[in-house]
Structure 1
Amino acid sequence: MKILVIGASGRVGKILTKKLLENNHQVIGTTRQDESLFSNQNYTQISLDLLGEIEEIQEKIPNHIDAIYFVSGSRAKNLLALDLHGAIKTMKIAENKNIKQYIMLSAVFSLETNKWKEEGFDELKDYYIAKHYADEWLIRNTNLNYTILQPSALTETTGTGKIEVDIQHPGENAIEDVATTLLEVLNNKATFKKVISMHSGTTPIKEAINNIGQ
């Protein structure tokens, strides 16, 4: 498949891109870095300014893309302009280009505002507001085959390859496990139009994803 990874140089994006290439996908990564992230014949790289006009962004994105991953993040520097407005621009472009699947890396319980105070997310409230409305837009204002993955707190620990989904309380996720889960939802119709919350657990990732909706 021909896949656009928006945010390929990020903590999740870099591991995800590596996994996609290992699975022989053709990957276009976006980053503001000049140096290529990967030396691989199936990898190309473009500089994409999500703060720019939608027409400028769309012009840079190649045609005939099969799926978009949005794994970019402002790290709290441009929450509204990037995590919200920038994300929505890419959703509109995905529709304009008839892209089959749009996969959003979000945050646990981004759509369940009643849990924010209960679970102690007050210090991340602005971030959660941006993610909430980006996810809402994707669900309510597009016809895309979206998959929204909502991991718990990301850790630099070694992945276990095991998770739990549709969770009731937050936990932690190894970044590698989040990247593996993102790979697993690719072109998986069982995950179309689904919001998947997750943390580390005891169920193999492939099994957890294949059981979505059952």
Structure 2
Amino acid sequence: MARILLFGGHGKVALLLEPLLVRQGHTVTAVIRNAEHEADVAATGATPLVADIEVFDLDQLTNLVSGNDVVVWSAGAGGGSAARTYAVDRDAAIRSMDAAVAAGVTRYLMVSWIGSRADHGVARDNSFFAYADAKWAADAHLQESGLQWTILAPGTLTLDPPTGLIEVDPDGRGEVTRADVAAVVAAAIDDDTTIGRSIRFGNGRVPIAEAIAG
């Protein structure tokens, strides 16, 4: 079983992911910014770790990552200012990848979004541009990092109950429940055929493990 460091440990997907990983027998450390969220994370079976990744430099992040087997990035600025979006979704994410390289932690999974690509098509005057631009920059850096990477790119997130069923490369918005996104991340950690792949998905008709298998 793996020692997993999860960035963005109090996010909606992360709080659903943590108990799945714990039940699989993994040891999960969940990085959070707000100490008031420690109890929520601890209730999942994960160990909360308070750290402000927005301001941590490479050396600090390397110390944070060291000793783990897998890094999962599920953090984000959550909208708001473009400056903070770039600071978290691009810059901090990239530092965490460089930290994984420096620490010798080779396995890295990124929770991205279905439209993350160089030609994402979001106009510069659109309020969503900073997010689209930042996520693609982070994904592109990960692909060139030398890490054993997997990019998981869900469509529009919903709060519906889990289905356990997805479709890879769906048409349209690719709506998918957050619970199923969590299940995809958990399945990908245990499936080495996902290494070196960007997997875009939404809810569908295929069991998750079957859908993501290479």
Do they fold alike, i.e. is TM over 0.5? yes
Partner of 2:8: 7
1:62-104 per-position Cα deviation (integer Å, ceiling 9, x unaligned): 5321101000010123111000000000000111111131000
Aligned twin of 2:91: 85
Equivalent pair of 2:65/2:100 in contact (CA under 8 Å): no
Alignment of 1:126-145 (within 5 A): 126-140=130-144, 142-145=145-148
Match of 2:202 among 179, 199, 205: 199
Other-structure match for 2:78? 75
Task: Report the counterpart of residue 107 of structure 1 in structure 2.
Answer: 113
Match of 2:51 in 1: 48
Distance verdict in 2 for CA 1:114–1:23, change over 3 Å: closer
What percent of counterpart residues are identical?
28
The amino acid that maps onto 1:132 is W
Q: 2:133 aligns to what SS in structure 1?
A: helix
1:174-199 CA distances to partner (integer Å, 9 max, x unpaired)?
00000000001004221001000001
Runs of 4+ in 1 over 3 A off after TM superposition: 114-117
RMSD (Å), alpha carbons: 1.9
Where 2:117 maps in the other structure, the secondary structure is coil
* Aligned-partner Cα distance in 2 for 1:123–1:83: 15
Does the CA contact (< 8 Å) of 2:113 and 2:152 recur in 1? yes
Please name the residue that 1:22 is paired with: 23
Deviation per CA, 1:141-184: give whole Å up to 9, x if none: x1001000110011111111100012343221100000000001
Offset of residue 39 of structure 1: 4.2
Q: Is the alpha carbon distance of 1:160 and 1:26 closer, same or farther for their aligned partners in structure 2, counting shifts above 3 Å?
A: same
Change (3 A) 1:145 1:15: same
Deviation of 1:209 (Å): 1.2
What secondary structure is seen at the aligned counterpart in 2 of 1:163?
Answer: strand
Structure 2 Cα separation of the partners of residues 104 and 114 of structure 1: 17
Contact 1:49 1:57 in 2 (8 A): no
Question: Structure 1's 168 and 72: CA in aligned 2 closer, same or farther, altered over 3 A?
Answer: same
- Residue 89 and residue 123 in structure 1: after superposition, are their counterparts in 2 closer, same or farther (change >3 A)? same
**Alignment counterpart, residue 175 of structure 1, candidates 154, 158, 178:** 178
For 2:193 and 2:203, locate their aligned partners in 1 and report how far apart those are by CA, in whole Å. Answer: 21
Rounded to whole Å, the distance in 2 between the matches of 1:4 and 1:27 is 6
Unaligned runs of 5+ in 1: none
Structure 2 gap segments, 5+ residues each: none
Contact 1:101–1:187 under 8 Å retained in 2: no
**Distance in structure 2 (CA, Å) of the matches to 1:86 and 1:57:** 9
What is the aligned length? 205
1:57 maps onto 2:22 in alignment: no
